[in-house]
Structure 1
Amino acid sequence: MQSRLDGWLNGLVGLITLFPAFYLLFYHLLSLPLLRFSSFLPRTWSRSHCQPSICPSPPLIFHLPPPPMDTSRDVPDILIVGAGIFGVSTAYHLAQQLERPSQIVLLDRAAPPSTPAASTDINKIIRADYTNPLYVALGFEAIEQWKSLPFFQEAQVYNPSGWIALEEKDSDVPALIRKNFRDYGRGDVIEEWSEEKVRHAWGGLLEKTDCSPFGSYYYNSSAGWADAGKALQLMAQEAIKLGVRYEVGEARRIVRDEKGVSGVKTADGTIYHARKVLLATGAWTSQLMSSVEDDLDLPGPDRVEQQVSAAGVTVSHFQLSSEEKSRYSQLPVFVYGGEGEVIPPTAEGILKFTTAASFRNTIRTASGHEISVPLVDQIHVPEALQEDHLHAIRPRLPQLLEDHPRPDYWRICWDAISPSQHPLITRHPDDRLSNLYFAVGGSFHCYKFLPIIGKYVVNVLHGVSNGREKDKAWTWKEHHPDERGVHARLAPEREIRDVV
């Protein structure tokens, strides 16, 4: 009898001992399909999209408690933090070069496409219209990839609508762009228009547009727009197919050892180690870097906030009827001088307005340093900002605003912007932060480079030059106030608290 009882007790102890292992296995097997499933959920838009009470999160059949708190995870090669355009493009290009793509980890707070990222949007403009020849060349290089990458072609994410640009009377921008296009050998795609031609084109949709601030007009047939969130998700999925590990977690702190940066720690306590760490964290970069900069007692000029800073702009979306969608789909991308753009309706009939009046949200950290950080809520736009935005967009399509006095959906889009609007693609210059790299500073214009920018980031990670011009433009540097910005119209000149 005693031996039988001993046998039962031994069996019970064995089961208890094995329980944690079975629990972890069960948790991960079950949570992985749920994570992957969430990547393919349809992104529907409606008049009620901006109302969280009407649009709850996608339902799950059941919930599991989190697994036991963290153990460190060793990643021997490269950890990419942030799944916006810089992070996803880098993961994709790295995976094509490395023998073992599983040595790459792409970490973001959300499954792809990462909702908070500036690049996750219904659409973004794709163009090569720049006053800086470097970005003219990059723009045309990117456009070719938008047209030719098989997974973009199959999903038809690129829409070559062309664009019409209205420029202020004293602006030298059109002349510089035309010269750059000619120098690049693409002068054939750009054409000077008259105000009368603009007003009568596309069924007269711009007939009532206020053109009084403008003195020149040009049409570029090579430009267009992309389904931004969908394209980002497709490239992320391609990287995962190639072997990249996608992990979900919110990076909270840079981890260091005696050799420099060794990884990041997430909100749940998980530590992701790597030989090299690339921050593609956009508008959240200063927030993430602040604690390690405090630990090293870096002076203000040596902090990343002096290289890139968080800025926000308001964006509005209008749900069109089927008849309105048919009419406004005739439009190309419509650039209203330095004030912003109108992007043609999506397949779901969403017409989007952007504005160029950006702003910071400056806070003081515990150590006394000032940084700009994104607002947590990107959907609920303060009333004063709404009125400011509506005042800016009403002259563009006054007849639309008569029929739709208020947008159906608002968003504050946050991005990291540099003083010169060049991205920051470089290694950190402080030896105590060796192994730490940046690919940030999209400055509200870099989305178009999604298909190609990763290959240039890979060169930086490998210590390979991208050529003198790019190396100089993208490195850690002192900024000069008299330098002409790449996208200067978006440089923030106000604080959000001064607006609201």
Structure 2
Amino acid sequence: MADREPTILIIGAGTFGTSTAYHLAKTYNDPSKVTIIDRAPSPPKPAASVDINRIIRPDYPSALYCNLAWEAIHSWFWGIELQEFFKQVGGVMVYESEAKADEVRQVFKRRGYDQTEAMELGELERSGRGKGVLEGTATEGMGDAYWNPDAGWVNAAKATASYMHEAQKYGVQRVVTEVEELLYEEGRVAGVKLADGRKLTADKVILASGAWTSSLLSPLEDHLNSAEPDRIERQIRATGAVSAYYRATDSEISQLHKAPVIVYGDLGQVIPASAENLMTKYTNSKTMFINTVTTASGHKISVPAKGSQYDVPEALKRETEELITTKVMPQFAKGREADHWRICWDARTPTQDWLMCRHPDERLGGLYLAVGGSFQGYKFLPNAGKYMLNVLNGKSNGEEKDRAWAWKKDGDESGHPTRELTSFDQEEEKPRARL
């Protein structure tokens, strides 16, 4: 008699949750034993993974993530459910130092496939590849740049919805409501209590809840009196980043047709407008922040701010505009204001490795974690769930991946951002200098 397939409950329908549901749907004899919950319909707007676009690129100094990204790009390019959403327009990668750029390109060379082309910083716009977006870009203090023809962008909202639709077509159950709390029986996490009063139980529960993971798990840690070093906040932290969206004119759309994505070192990323995407988006990677609250037990955790994610403090806008207008794309942004702003929240790990493992506390049997996208996880929608299935089945993903994605015994708090979102509100209260 074949082993009984365990029931699976996935909390969160972002990148990791949707990918896991998809791969379970493809491998389970009875996919109806898989249930995925999120507060919003697919694609869930609050999720870090869902936006008008996300950059797809294999440019990592880590061979592990470079190889994973190439694997994912194969699915983005050829996968029947995803290929229509991927625009392989190429990418300009600008780095703070020549050594860092060379480190990434050496990873490509060791793989035996390197189509990149070095670019002089002064040639960024004269090369014609920037299509006007790079005009006036400040390159002082930057080290090197190169062109990667294999990079591009994807309509993240539509691609996520497509993968979820495929999972549901095979029988995965989709529940749209808020999770109120985790249900705990002695020695195991048995399921969840929902905001509408229902209780759902399963043999295995996966927290794929991104930036909301600490708020779900912290009450249970309080109940178990978990030691501070063993709490989830040492592994991941809800972190925010802001994006500015500029609506392009008809003439700009024509000029920017098939313009490349731009990764401007640690300052952020630009995805130019196109016929399929009328917004030029800049994401500020330099200014990341947390939102600390104190739980009933006195523990401090970071959680996504309440209210609309489109409600961005004016001081944060000004700081981001300073980067846009003086460094990243000054000519494009000259004399114009952003059409709208958005704060994106994600679970960020100190090392920016995923956290994909069984929870190590034996008192939390049946609980698994698939979080830690660190604002870079979306490109792995096609393949992250494949590796999560091995974790669920107690199989190794190989020594390197197992080590990188494991629960770290000595969580490094120094790797987390410390700037508070509320600090921007305090800056707004200060009188501004006369110009």
Same fold (TM over 0.5): yes
Matching residue of 1:463? 394
What's the secondary structure of 2:239's corresponding residue?
Answer: strand
The answer to whether the aligner puts 1:123 opposite 2:33 as a matched pair is: no
Query: How much does 1:291 deviate?
Result: 1.1
What's the secondary structure of 2:417's corresponding residue?
Answer: coil
Unmatched tracts of structure 1, length 5 or more? 1-74
The answer to whether the aligner puts 1:442 opposite 2:380 as a matched pair is: no
8 Å Cα contact 1:190-1:220 kept in structure 2 = yes
8 Å Cα contact 1:308-1:417 kept in structure 2 = yes
TM-score (norm 2): 0.92
Q: Cα deviations across residues 242-283 of structure 1 (Å, max 9, x unaligned)?
A: 110101121121101134111011111111100000010000
Matching residue of 2:44? 114
Matching residue of 2:7? 77
8 Å Cα contact 2:22-2:164 kept in structure 1 = yes
| Total equivalences in the alignment | 415
Amino acid at match of 2:148: N
Matching residue of 1:385? 316
Q: How does 1:90-489 map to 2 (within 5 A)?
A: 90-153=20-83, 156-168=84-96, 170=97, 172-187=99-114, 189-202=115-128, 203=131, 205-346=133-274, 347-356=276-285, 357-376=287-306, 377-394=308-325, 395-404=327-336, 406-479=337-410
Q: Cα deviations across residues 195-232 of structure 1 (Å, max 9, x unaligned)?
A: 23312123554232111122211111111111011100
Could you say which structure has the higher helix fraction? 1
Amino acid at match of 2:156: A
What's the secondary structure of 2:17's corresponding residue?
Answer: helix
Output the CA distance in 1 between the equivalents of 2:185 and 2:418: 39
Max Rg structure: 1
Q: Cα deviations across residues 343-367 of structure 1 (Å, max 9, x unaligned)?
A: 0214141110011111011111110
TM-score (norm 1): 0.80
Output the CA distance in 2 between the equivalents of 1:171 and 1:218: 10
Output the CA distance in 1 between the equivalents of 2:175 and 2:420: 34
Distance 1:270 1:204, change over 3 A: closer
8 Å Cα contact 1:361-1:496 kept in structure 2 = yes
**CA root-mean-square deviation:** 1.7
Query: How much does 1:190 deviate?
Result: 1.1
Output the CA distance in 2 between the equivalents of 1:312 and 1:270: 31
Distance 1:204 1:87, change over 3 A: closer
Query: How much does 1:172 deviate?
Result: 2.5
What's the secondary structure of 2:346's corresponding residue?
Answer: strand
8 Å Cα contact 1:420-1:479 kept in structure 2 = no
Output the CA distance in 1 between the equivalents of 2:90 and 2:410: 34
Amino acid at match of 1:199: E
8 Å Cα contact 2:229-2:410 kept in structure 1 = no
Amino acid at match of 1:400: F
Query: How much does 1:493 deviate?
Result: 3.8
Matching residue of 2:432? none
Output the CA distance in 1 between the equivalents of 2:316 and 2:98: 27
Q: Cα deviations across residues 115-174 of structure 1 (Å, max 9, x unaligned)?
A: 110001010011111111100100100000101111223xx2001111112222x45321
8 Å Cα contact 2:230-2:409 kept in structure 1 = no
Query: How much does 1:329 deviate?
Result: 2.9
Output the CA distance in 2 between the equivalents of 1:348 and 1:471: 38
- Identity rate, percent: 44
Distance 1:224 1:273, change over 3 A: same
